[in-house]
Amino acid sequence: MPPTTSAPAGGPVAPLAALTPLPDPKARTGPSTAVLAQPDIGAEPPAQHLPVTVTDHQGTKVTVTDTRRILAFDMAGTLAATVFGLGLGSHVVGRDVSTGFPAARKLPLVTRNGHQLNAEAILALRPSVVLTDTTLGPWDAVLQLRDAGIPVVVLDSRRSLDNVGALVHDAAAALGVPEAGQRLADRLTGDITAKRTEITRLAPADPARKLRTVFLYLRGQAGVYYLFGRGSGADSLIMALGAVDVASEAGVEGMRPVNPEALIKARPDVILVMTKGLESVGGPDGLLRVPGVAQTPAGLHRRFVDMADSQILGFGPQTPGVLDALARALYAPGSAG
């Protein structure tokens, strides 16, 4: 049976407040896919104030004089999405593999073999400024850019609902668009708060009925199966969805290889995954073959929710939409329109 989608492709999307939630989300069977109602990112070009000098997350003072050729890359695709959200998308000249929204999809890649930086490809694009963090390597590639005289601003690598606005502010300051940064941060903060309030009305209030949820990172070709816990970003997402993060409950910090016995003991009702990760193990049937999954309530009832790799843990301008789509997949699958 194909997975249920959380929103009709191209159709009207009813607000969360208009949805009728499942009487018992733990009684649902079968996989579902969370789909953003608006997958693209863009904004009007902002007013700029250049040059600017900022102190980045590593304590390095960086002066930016030119933003006509921007590169922004990180493991989650957050920084490029933020640049587009600030209205400077037309200045972006390349992308990392995690940047997959439509407006950026045709830009040349600056990563290879997954998340490895390609210094030659970056230099060939002649960037006038680079925004990055410490999640992509090799770090020598970043140092090579600085040696070439390119301003490189290193931003916070932490991804969470708690610092979405701060990351927007830092990126905007580095690009000389602080007013646009304030507007975007305020909008995101307000929209995230509103979504969390709407989700509270959908999710079971009784702690015993809340969905016990876990986020698994899957790369089947390499036999890589990770559990994301406290501080990974997945924890803040799961809690915002009115669910219980069983990895944090079990004391998992950051990312840890899946321990089948621990996964079974955690008793997740739902497993969240990235779409390509799910594909890499052979879909829902393949996920059941990952050690420990079939013995969980999620596995027994095939309650798997997938979402695009570039969206689910992006924590950028699409964050309110991600919360909305995941809430539909968890609490009202198939009833979004």
DSSP string, 157-182: ----GGGHHHHHHHHHHHTT-HHHHH
What's residue 5's pLDDT? 62
Closest listed residue to residue 21, CA positions, set 200, 189, 262, 238: 200
Collapsing DSSP to helix, strand or coil, 244 comes out as strand
What is the pTM (predicted TM-score) of this model?
A: 0.94
Q: Are 54 and 153 in contact (CB under 8 A)?
A: yes
User: Cα(6)–Cα(329) distance, rounded to whole angstroms?
Assistant: 5
The alpha carbon of residue 29 and the mean position of all alpha carbons in its chain are separated, in whole angstroms, by: 25
Q: Are 252 and 227 in contact (CB under 8 A)?
A: yes
Detail the DSSP E strand segments found in the chain: 4-5, 32-33, 52-55, 61-64, 70-72, 111-112, 116-117, 129-132, 152-154, 212-219, 224-228, 244-245, 255-257, 270-274, 304-307
Closest listed residue to residue 80, CA positions, set 147, 133, 44: 133
The alpha carbon of residue 331 and the mean position of all alpha carbons in its chain are separated, in whole angstroms, by: 20
Contacts of 106 (CB under 8 A, 6+ apart): none
Kindly list the averaged pLDDT for each block of 10 residues, start to end, along the chain of length 337: 55 83 94 95 96 97 98 96 98 95 95 87 97 94 94 96 96 98 98 96 95 96 92 96 97 95 97 97 97 98 96 96 97 71
Collapsing DSSP to helix, strand or coil, 75 comes out as coil
What's residue 290's pLDDT? 96
Burial 198-234 (b: 16+ CB within 10 A, else e): bbeebbbeeeeebbbbbbbbbebeeeebbbbbbbbbb
User: Cα(195)–Cα(185) distance, rounded to whole angstroms?
Assistant: 15
Angle CA 35–289–27, to nearest 5? 55
What's residue 14's pLDDT? 86
Taking the CA atoms of 4, 16, 204 and 323 in sequence, report the sign of the dihedral they define: positive
Residue with structure tokens 């593999």? Answer: 97
